[in-house]
Each structure stands twice: as structure tokens, then as C-alpha cells.
Amino acid sequence: MVAWSDQERSIITSIFSNLDYNDVGPKALIRCLIVYPWTQRYFASFGNLYNADAIKTNPNIQAHGTKILHGLDRAVKNMDDIKTTYAELSVLHSEKLHVDPDNFKLLADCLTIVIAAKMGSGFTPEIQETFQKFLAVVVSALGKQYH
Amino acid sequence: MNLTAKDKNTVRTFWAKISTNAEDIGTDFCLKIKSFFPPFFRMLVVYPQTKTYFSHWKDPSPSSAPVKKHGATVMAGVADAVAKIDDLRAGLLSLSELHAFTLRVDPANFKVLSHNILVVLAISFPNDFTPEVHVAMDKFLSAVDLCNYS
């Protein structure tokens, strides 16, 4: 059970309430596929991912990036029990999608970079610490049902 | 992990673009981004375990002299690595020996610092720090990290 201070809750809800999920989600996923190219292995059915431009303009990647952010939204709304909230998603990623759980951290790092670029000087070390704590809990929950 | 010619070019071009003064790169870079909390201080806050290497400093706040000085030293080291990108192993030999044998820094911490450098680059240069630049910088910093602990 993860403890959240009032300030941490406020920081997380504030960050997400100021995000355009249709923009940030795709940007984070695109960045992940380019910076960590082995992650493309999970998107073989998505069409053309042959180079950075193809990835950036691929409509399936756009849609999936948005979907991921909406998935994160569920964690924001259930911060006191992210583990249970994500149990089903964890089973999905393990048993159906066969995603190496190390990759969750890579996507989390890319999302941090995208949010940092968006928030600029507002992304202070304290805010970064809280945001990364949140993502670490999400990453851990997603890996919990792997056996 | 090998840096391709394209990676090296991307790093050199991006670094040249963001540095205002070729001679004073380390200090200038820190001056430009100091309002965004330079990477070194950011690391001390976000990853408190890294403070264990600096327990000899009484004051670990961003305005303290040792933190500012060391932050500038670190970024000057990165700038130097850019200049020596064609042979990092030879170019960073003395730094490598210092971190591995004298300071004995746990290798995981280099990755942590690199992450914070990337975060500050994203904050400071949101339009220039494209995914393509990000991957080249990530590979470059990984190569620098490897030199520093092996």
C-alpha cells in the first residue's frame, strides 16, 4: 500500500488535468519506439514503423498513445490502490501481449521527458520526484501479475 | 553499444546549437539553464541515495557553492566528452580511473545522472530535443557512463 501526501496527490492530479491526452500520449509512445527501438517488436501489426517519420505519422501509434494515457488516468483516479486497479491490465500485458516488464520503465522515462518538455521550468525537482514516484508505482503494478 | 557516424553528428550538431560559447561550454550551459535546476542538483533531490557520495558537503542545496561548482564540473566533463566523441575510451581515461578506483561510484548512479541530464535538455530545449536527438544523446551518455565505470 503506497502512502501519498496531500501535496503529492495534488501534484499528480494537477499534472494530468493540464494534459492533452491526444498529444502527450502519442508523443511519449513515439519517443519510446525511436529511443528504444526494440520496443517496436510489440507493434508489428501496426503497419509502417520503418523510420522515425513513419512512426511519427502512423495513425495506429497515435491511437495507441492516447489509449495509454487514458489507461494512466485510471491510476490517477485510484491512487490509493493502483495495484488492484491494474491487476487485469497486468495479466493482459503478461499473458496476452507478452511484454517484457522492463519496457514499462522505458515508456515511463519517455513520458517524463515529454512532460518535462511541456512544463518547462514548472517541472521542478520536487515535481519530478513526485511524478517519477507515481510512474514507479504504475510500473510496479503492471508487473505484479507476471508469473 | 557503438555510436554510429549519424549518432556522433547528431550529438555534435545539437551540442553546438545549445552551447553559446565554445570555450566556456560547461559554465555557460549551467548559467543558461540554472533557472531550471541543473542536472546535478536535480539528481540529488530526485534520487536522494546519490547524496551519499557527497556527505562531506555540509550544504546540499542548489545555491551552495560545492553543488554549483560540481554541477559545472560535471557538465564541462560532458562537453569534453562531446569533443572526444571519436575515442571516448582514450579521451575519458583519467576520469574513468577516478570514478572507478578512487570514488568507487556504484554504476547505477551514472544512469541516474544521465536521465536527469536528458530531463534538463528536454526542459531547456523542448523544440530541439526531438526523439532523434534524444536517442543519439541517450546512446552517447550511455557510452560515457560505460567509460566511467569500466
Shortest CA distance to A113 belongs to which of A2, A36, A7?
A: A36
User: Is 80 exceeded by the pLDDT of residue B89?
Assistant: yes
From A116's Cα to the closest Cα of chain B, the distance in A is 5
Segment A123-147 shows an average pLDDT of 94
- Confidence band, pLDDT 50/70/90 cuts, at residue A20: very high
What is the structure's pLDDT at A48? 94
Distance CA A124, CA A129 (A): 9
A33 pLDDT more than 80: yes
B73-85 average pLDDT score: 90
pLDDT on residue B20: 61
pLDDT at A74 over 90: yes
C-alpha cell at B121: 535538455
Cβ of A121 within 8 Å of Cβ of B129? The answer is: no
Structural domain boundaries, residue B57 = 5-148
A141: pLDDT confidence band, cut at 50, 70 and 90?
very high
Q: For residue B35, what is the nearest residue in chain A, using CA coordinates?
A: A121
Which has the closest alpha carbon to A113: B123, B111, B112, B59?
B123
Q: For residue A74, how many other CB atoms are within 10 A of its CB?
A: 13
Report the domain count for chain B: 1
pLDDT at A22 over 60: yes
User: Is B28's pLDDT higher than 50?
Assistant: no
User: CB count, 10 Å around CB of A144?
Assistant: 16
Which residues lie below 8 Å from residue B95, measured CB to CB, with a gap of 6+?
A: B77, B147, B148
Residue of A nearest to B34 (CA): A121
- Whether the pLDDT of residue A58 is over 90: the answer is yes
Count of Cβ atoms closer than 10 Å to residue B23 Cβ = 8
Which residues have C-beta within 8 Å of that of residue A141, sequence separation ≥ 6? A75, A82, A83, A85, A86, A87, A90
**Mean pLDDT, residues B52-66:** 81
Within 101-120 of B, beta carbons closer than 8 Å to A belong to 115, 118-120
Distance CA B7, CA A43 (A): 25
pLDDT value at B34 more than 50: no
d(CA B32, CA B21): 11
Residue A1 has pLDDT above 90, yes or no: no
Element (H, E) at A8: helix A6-17
Cell triple for A64: 495507441
- How confident is the model at residue B24, as a pLDDT? 39
Query: How many other C-beta atoms lie within 10 A of the C-beta of residue A132?
Result: 17
Mean pLDDT of A78-98: 94
Map out the domains of chain A with their CATH numbers: 6-142 (1.10.490.10)
- The owner of cell 578512487 is B102
Q: What span, in angstroms and rounded, lies between the C-alpha atoms of A130 and B39?
A: 17
Confidence of residue B19 (pLDDT cuts 50, 70, 90): confident
Higher-pLDDT residue of B33 and A34 is: A34
pLDDT recorded at residue B148:
86
First vs last Cα of chain A: how many Å apart? 21
Query: What pLDDT sits at residue A53?
Result: 96
Tell me what ipTM this predicted complex has.
0.84
What is the per-residue pLDDT across A41-55, written as a single tens digit (0 to 9) for each?
A: 999 999 999 999 999
- CATH number of domain containing B95: 1.10.490.10
> What span, in angstroms and rounded, lies between the C-alpha atoms of B141 and B111?
8
Q: Does B40 touch chain A (CB under 8 A)?
A: no
CA distance B82 to B98: 19
Q: What pLDDT digit, counting tens, does each position of B109-137 carry?
A: 899 999 999 998 998 889 999 999 999 99
